[in-house]
Structures are given as C-alpha cells and as structure tokens.
Amino acid sequence: MIKTDAIIIGAGPTGLFAVHQLGIIGLKCEIIDNLDRAGGQCIELYPDKPIYDIPAIPECTGEELTNGLLKQVAPFKANFHLNQRVEEIKQEDNSWILKTNKGNVFSAPNVIIAGGVGSFEPRKLTLKEAEKFEGSQIFYSVVNKKIFQNKKISIFGGGDSALDWALELSKTNQVTLIHRRSEFRGAAHTLNEVRQKEKEGKILIKTPYNLTSIEGDKIMTGIEIKHENEKLEKVKADYILSFFGLIMKLGPIAEWGLNIDKKTIPVNTETFQTNKEGIFAIGDICTYPGKLKLILSGFHEGALAARACFKRAKPNETYKFEFTTASKNIHDRLGLKK
C-alpha cells in the first residue's frame, strides 16, 4: 500500500497543476490516470489544436500545454500510475483507501478528483453481437499482433490508427479496410502508402460502407457490410479491428455517493471539497454556481483544494501562505540552487 498526503485522480491539466500546488506547500501526492500518458483531454482529444485562453500564453497546443505542466511539476517527483482506473474507495479512520483495477492500493487523508468528463475508453462497435467476440476476435487496440498472422482481418475506421494498422498488418495478412465515407482523415503519406498497397492488391478498401452484421455462432466467420446505396456485401473475417477513437466514461466514481448530477460533482467553492470530508473535486468534473469549464478555472480550483488538503495531511502544523518569488521553503521544494 502506498501512503501519501493526497491522491489525484486524473492527470489532465487540472490534475497536473494540483501536483504543483500540493508540491509548493510541501505535500506529497500520487497521481492516477486511465490513459497511457499524462495530459487528459488536452493530449487525447486535441493535442494539435491551439488553445488561446491560458493566461500569459497567447497560443499553445494541448500537447505543448501538457509538456509545460509536466516540466513545471517535475521538481516534486510525484509518481504517475497510468493505464489504470480507480475502482474502489473506502474510508478507514481519517484516510481514504483507493484501489485501482491493476490492484494497486493507496492510502491518503485527501483525494482530489480531477477526472474531467470521465476516463477514456475505446468507442466500441454498436452491434450487440460484437460483445460476444470482444477480446477473442474483435479488438479495439492491438496488444499482440502475432495472433493475426496469415488471417483475414477487417479494419474499421478512417483515422491514423486504422490506416497504420492496415499497412502494418497487410505485410502478413489479408486486410480489408472499411470506412463509412470515401475520405480518410489520416496523415497524407500514410494514406498514399495505403492506396499503393490497394493497387498492389495487398489491401482491399471498402468505402462508403458500414457494418450491418457479424456472422458466426461460437466463432466469428465473417461480417456483412452495407454500401451507402444500400447494397449488402459479405466479407470473410477471422478478426475485426475497430478504431473509432475514445469516449469518456465516468465509471465507478458515479457510485461513490458524491451527489453526482449531470456527470458533475457539487463542491463548495472555498475548499472544493465534495460532500465527503477529504474528497475534493476540481476541473471539468466539479460544479458550483457560475462554474466555467475552462482550464484556467481548473488551475484556480486546484490551488484552493491543495490548501484545504494541508489541514488534513498535517493536522499539527499551521499552513502559512507564501509567494513563490520570495519563499526559501518553496525554492527548496523546487530544488533551486542559490
């Protein structure tokens, strides 16, 4: 079990800045996120899109913002626990015990939920039969490409993931690439390569087609797809790979008794504490009169929540407000050399 002063759920911009705000007041923290890297929506939804409303930064992309925050929190050496979701939370005396789906257990007097709109999960195929074959013949990411050798693979999607995997798997397999419209949105050079493979007969491209049914009882044998003009067509398939991006799901947080309404958690605006003592909510996931879902609001909320964490983490000490420009304590925590 990992013991710390505060556990942050969500490594988006708000969660990252909370690491900073805890760090400068001398509190330790652990940060947990379901994605494989920090950055949250900024890195997953709009890494290349410019953001224009971060104070003193006229323009930056989601990726630049994330990298800047990671650099800013580096001195505090917070541990990142990625690729895992918090499944359970329970109270033990004055501490909260959290358990992730990877079996990691954490204990802290404070929990800061910076979960945005929820954790990212792959968007799944909408056909009901798809569930039956998920993990055996239908995949939403590639874990082990060896299983696909010399098999018939249908790949769905029009973005880079679909195009990249079509190219990669076409080396050893029969690949059919299926997309709902004739335009692909992946990188131009990848698309050129895919078109080249199509000419060589290595990749079969089917557009504009949608999936209408999956065939097979215990084992999937093929699929049926429908052209925009309603014409149906059968395709033999041993495996389906589907790349329709990610969706955000609130997941277990909804069951924690935090009075969630419209996917948001009510907080008091003095401490950003929820209805449970020691559980705070900041960023897009919190709500209060006048709430704006802006990154800068998340920063402010994290600053106040961090101060509120101090009392519970160090009940015998008095919190003293200090400026980063002048405080020797803060300079030490930042590891600055004189």
Partner 1 sequence: MLALFIFIPILRIVPKITYISHDEKKNTVEVPVGLTVMEGALQNNIQGIDADCGGSMACATCHVYVSENWLNKIEKIHDAEQDMLDMAYEPKKNSRLSCQIIVSKDLDGLEVTTPIKQT
Cα dihedral 242, 246, 247, 250 sign: positive
Considering the complex, state which of residue 50 and residue 335 has its C-beta at the smaller distance from partner 1: 50
228 binds partner 1 (CB under 8 A): yes
Considering the complex, state which of residue 212 and residue 268 has its C-beta at the smaller distance from partner 1: 212
Compute how many other C-beta atoms are within 10 angstroms of the C-beta atom of residue 312.
19
Cα dihedral 280, 285, 287, 293 sign: positive
What SS3 class is residue 301? helix
Considering the complex, state which of residue 7 and residue 113 has its C-beta at the smaller distance from partner 1: 113
185 binds partner 1 (CB under 8 A): yes
187 binds partner 1 (CB under 8 A): no
Task: State the Cα–Cα distance between residues 161 and 260, nearest whole angstrom.
Answer: 34
Tell me the window of 78-86, 91-99, 191-199, 246-254 that interacts with partner 1 (CB under 8 A).
246-254
251 binds partner 1 (CB under 8 A): no
* Residue 48 amino acid letter: D
123 binds partner 1 (CB under 8 A): yes
Task: Tell me which residue of 165, 162, 196, 192 sits closest to 179, measured CA to CA.
Answer: 162
- Whether the CB-CB separation of 111 and 92 falls below 8 Å is answered with no
Q: Which of 151, 206, 293, 314 binds partner 1 (CB under 8 A)?
A: 293
Total chain residues near partner 1 (CB under 8 A): 26
Task: State the Cα–Cα distance between residues 27 and 333, nearest whole angstrom.
Answer: 10
Closest CB 122 distance from partner 1, rounded Å: 11
The residues binding partner 1 (CB under 8 A) are 41, 45-46, 49, 117-118, 123, 126, 157-159, 179-181, 183, 185, 210, 228, 244-245, 247-249, 263, 284, 293
